[in-house]
C-alpha cells in the first residue's frame, strides 16, 4: 500500500518530528510496510479465536502489598536543596 506524502507529513506533525525529505521517504516506506502487514492480519479467519488480554497465563505478577519501614523524614530531607524541617521547599510555580 502506498502512503501519500501528505499522510507522512501529517503523522510527522502529530509526532512533533521535523523530517528531512530523505527521512520522509524512508518513513513513508516503513509506514506503508506496517499498514500492509496490518492488512494481512485483517484477512485472517479469527472466528473461533477468543480475544486475549495477555498471551501469558499469569494472573498477577505483583508482589504482595505489605507494610515495611520507610525512609526516615530527616534522612529523606538531608540532601534536599531546601526544606523547612518537615517538608521539601520548592519554587512557587502557580500564581
Q: Is residue 56 part of a domain?
A: no
Q: Is residue 12 part of a domain?
A: yes
Q: Is residue 70 part of a domain?
A: no
DSSP 78: T
CA dist 33 and 17 (Å) reads 20
How would residue 86 be classed by pLDDT, with cut points 50, 70 and 90? confident
Looking at the whole model, is its pTM more than 0.85?
no
- Please check the confidence at residue 84 and state whether its pLDDT lies above 80: no
What CATH number does the domain containing 16 carry?
1.10.20.60
CA dist 32 and 90 (Å) reads 48
Instruction: Provide the domain count of the chain.
Output: 1
Give residue 11's domain range: 5-42
Residues 62, 64, 66, 71: what is their CA dihedral angle, to the nearest 10 degrees? -20
- Please check the confidence at residue 90 and state whether its pLDDT lies above 90: no
Q: Is residue 94 part of a domain?
A: no
pLDDT per position as a tens digit, 7-62: 999 999 999 999 999 999 999 999 999 999 999 988 999 899 888 887 777 777 78
Amino acid at each position: 500500500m502506498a502512503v501519500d506524502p501528505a499522510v507522512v507529513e501529517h503523522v510527522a506533525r502529530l509526532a512533533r518530528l521535523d523530517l528531512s525529505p530523505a527521512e520522509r521517504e524512508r518513513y513513508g516506506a516503513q509506514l506503508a510496510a506496517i499498514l500492509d502487514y496490518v492488512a494481512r492480519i485483517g484477512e485472517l479467519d479469527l472466528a473461533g479465536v477468543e480475544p486475549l488480554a495477555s498471551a501469558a497465563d499469569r494472573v498477577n505478577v505483583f508482589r504482595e502489598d505489605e507494610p515495611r519501614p520507610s525512609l526516615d523524614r530527616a534522612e529523606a530531607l538531608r540532601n534536599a536543596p531546601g526544606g523547612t524541617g518537615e517538608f521539601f521547599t520548592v519554587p512557587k510555580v502557580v500564581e
